[in-house]
A = this chain, B = another copy of it.
């Protein structure tokens, strides 16, 4: 058995010589389809990967009467969730989850987060023992006893190592090859992280590894609370100055909250694409920002449920529910006063405070240890 050389990527160090990596993507929505396009372009080029990329598709019958998997395999296009974009002729859609994962040693999870528990249960005992996993799923729940990280769920349920990929990633913009970045969060094994980086990187999609899986994954969820705050500022016509201040305070609270929950979380993670860049994208565009803007313009008189139904065509708003979950944690831990922005967002969403409170909480500043420069807080 060859010793592992730190300068060489050598993941498979059992008796057999390293085999080629075989990738399966679990999920085929908008982001999953774009991920399959990125990955499929790389497996064709890189010798350490099998060309073929399997994509598990939740089967649907299209209005034409055809099955979605059949259409994807015939046209190389996900006509329902990413119309007009070729995924690559080496992407094979498979409606059978167990069959799709059977031979794979690299599993990419990219389903809506509420399906993950069920999917993991179905996969127990069905995946290869040497499999590696990565989650592209943003928006885990933050329960009172702590956040339910998707990476932890996968690791615990399936007994495999699980990285995460997060960043400023609007799927439709990456689909048309506009320049973007992403962050791969990993726990210990840098070689595995580098393998994922290699699998996703293209000239227009620049991926960097970051040894902080919790920090990277938390960014993807907490940014939605800040986007609600940024939307309020937009609705109140407060201008760019105020919006920048609110985004900065939000980033600071994301960092402080993550570090209080996981002492391993690093400051520098928030400078990565998963941190500041995803926050900027989400606060400039994004559905959380948009609905919060409408909420503030209506002086809080129309509920988020009503605005969501009217504005989002069935898509769901995560910021409001995440704000509630974060509030519960803060209350439970006695941290409410340390997080004026997170707290205020929830209190505005529930109607206890008017939208204008988002820029008024600073009057209580002396109470908050957050004020007082970088040394005053973790």
Interface residues of A (CB under 8 A from B): 168-170, 173-174, 178-181, 203-204, 206, 208-211, 238-249, 251-252, 255, 266-273, 276-278, 280-281, 284-285, 359-360, 362-363, 365, 371-375
Q: In the complex, are the beta carbons of B210 and A374 less than 8 A apart?
A: yes
Q: Which residue of B168, B173, B271, B285 contacts A255 across the interface (Cβ within 8 Å)?
A: B271
Given contacts A173-B241, A240-B281, 19 further A-B contacts (CB under 8 A): A170-B240, A170-B241, A173-B239, A178-B238, A178-B241, A178-B359, A180-B242, A181-B248, A181-B249, A206-B371, A208-B371, A209-B372, A210-B373, A210-B374, A241-B281, A251-B271, A251-B276, A270-B271, A276-B276
Q: In the complex, are the beta carbons of B362 and A242 less than 8 A apart?
A: no
Q: Which residue of B243, B248, B280, B372 contacts A244 across the interface (Cβ within 8 Å)?
A: B280
* A174 CA to B242 CA, complexed, in Å: 9
Closest chain B residue to A276, Cβ basis: B248
Closest chain B residue to A207, Cβ basis: B371
Q: How far is the CB of A355 from chain B (nearest CB, A)?
A: 13
Copies in the complex: 2
Q: A-B pairs with the 10 shortest C-beta distances?
A: A179-B359, A268-B374, A248-B277, A244-B280, A244-B281, A168-B244, A244-B277, A173-B241, A240-B284, A181-B245
Closest chain B residue to A208, Cβ basis: B373
Interface CB pairs A-B, < 8 A, 25: A168-B245, A173-B241, A174-B241, A178-B238, A178-B239, A178-B242, A179-B238, A179-B245, A179-B362, A180-B241, A181-B249, A203-B363, A204-B359, A206-B371, A208-B371, A208-B372, A209-B372, A209-B373, A211-B373, A240-B284, A241-B281, A248-B272, A267-B267, A271-B374, A284-B284
